[in-house]
Amino acid sequence: MPKILVCGAINWDTMLFVDRFPNPGEEVRVMKVISVPGGKAANTAVAAVKILGSNSVGVIGMLGVDDIAERQIKILQNEGIETSLIFRLEGMLSGQAYVIVDSKGEDMILTHQAANLAIRPEHLVRPEVLSAIDKSSTIIVIDPPLDIAGSLIIYAGRIGKNVIWSPALLTNYGLSAVQRYMKHVDYLILNQQEARSLTSMDDGVQACTEISNSVSGTSVVLLSLWAMKDA
């Protein structure tokens, strides 16, 4: 069974490269279009399996019954990722994201979460999911619906798993909505904008420090956009 389980978004990304972002109502020319598999959870799983080796990582998530889902699952399987915990929902589109990148490397992301939002708590209590969680060592939660994130975090923390949480879009709910789950997390991952969103503080480092001080036992990790670009 996988050592690491990643729960969250699986998207198909369409990347649009432009010289500059348009102003409201303005049309700009797209220089290049790239279509690639993506989603925070799927991307994390691929990165982890490249380090840990085949069959060491599994994904818990939801896709539709469409061509995108077929491609996503085949790609993940070819990477050596366990996909048996990815559910499919008839009549629902698989998630898609549209990423606009300008000549400076700045980006804007528009996400149609679609099937990603259709995973429900009853999926988490299926015997095969509980068995996989019990046999894993680390649970990574990246941007599933808030009730799914909360249920998985609390269960995994209660049975002694290492829990890593990147709330991403869930930070839009505000600090009060996510804070109750933070104490069950070993590592909380935030970028600058997410940290500011949770605290209304302009400085990301100060924001993460305030969050860390409010949650004993949880390490808060601040992702630096510029550091990632330089790397």
Contact 128, 85 (CB under 8 A): yes
Residue spans of the domains in the chain: they are 4-9+40-92+115-166
Mean pLDDT across the chain? 91
- Per DSSP, the chain holds a count of helices (H) and strands (E) of 9, 11
- Supply the pLDDT for residue 224: 66
pLDDT digits (tens, 9 = 90+) for 97-126: 999 999 999 999 999 999 999 999 999 999
The answer to whether domain 4-9+40-92+115-166 has CATH 3.40.30.10 is no
Higher pLDDT, 165 or 217: 165
Question: Is the whole model's pTM more than 0.85, yes or no?
Answer: yes
Q: Are 57 and 71 in contact (CB under 8 A)?
A: no
The per-residue pLDDT for 194 is 87
Task: Look at strands 95-101 and 107-112 and give their pairing.
Answer: antiparallel
Over residues 212-231, the pLDDT tens digits come to: 887 777 888 888 644 333 32
* Residue 19, number of CB atoms within 10 A of its CB: 11
In the chain the first and final C-alpha atoms are separated, in Å, by 32
